[in-house]
């Protein structure tokens, strides 16, 4: 199923926010992926807006980055 431009924009923003917070935590993709027990290419696809991560995956990433999952979601009050 193809995404609408709006959906793709939201996934891109989500990934950008995850990347920004990961870098603020001084972690490489490889380091965070290892802590999450996922493959680095999977994390890369999330950060590049190429995949739509599940809520549980987002919670797992948030826990490892010491933020609330809302920090990843564009337009929310907790977004960094």
CA–CA distance, 34 with 46 (Å, rounded to integer): 15
Specify the CATH number for the domain of residue 12.
1.10.260.40
User: Domain containing 29: what range?
Assistant: 5-72
In a domain, 40, yes or no: yes
In a domain, 22, yes or no: yes
pLDDT at 77: 63
> How many domains does one find in the chain?
1
The helix (H) or strand (E) run that includes residue 57 is helix 55-65
In tens, the pLDDT along 41-52 reads 999 999 999 999
Q: Tell me the pTM.
A: 0.91
């Amino acid at each position: 199923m193809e995404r609408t431009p709006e959906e793709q924009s939201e996934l891109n923003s989500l990934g950008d926010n995850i990347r920004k917070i990961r870098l603020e935590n001084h972690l490489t993709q490889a380091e965070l992926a290892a802590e999450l027990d996922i493959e680095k290419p999977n994390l890369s696809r999330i950060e590049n807006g190429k995949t739509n991560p599940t809520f549980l995956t987002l919670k797992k990433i948030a826990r490892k980055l010491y933020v609330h999952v809302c920090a990843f979601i564009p337009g929310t009050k907790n977004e960094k």
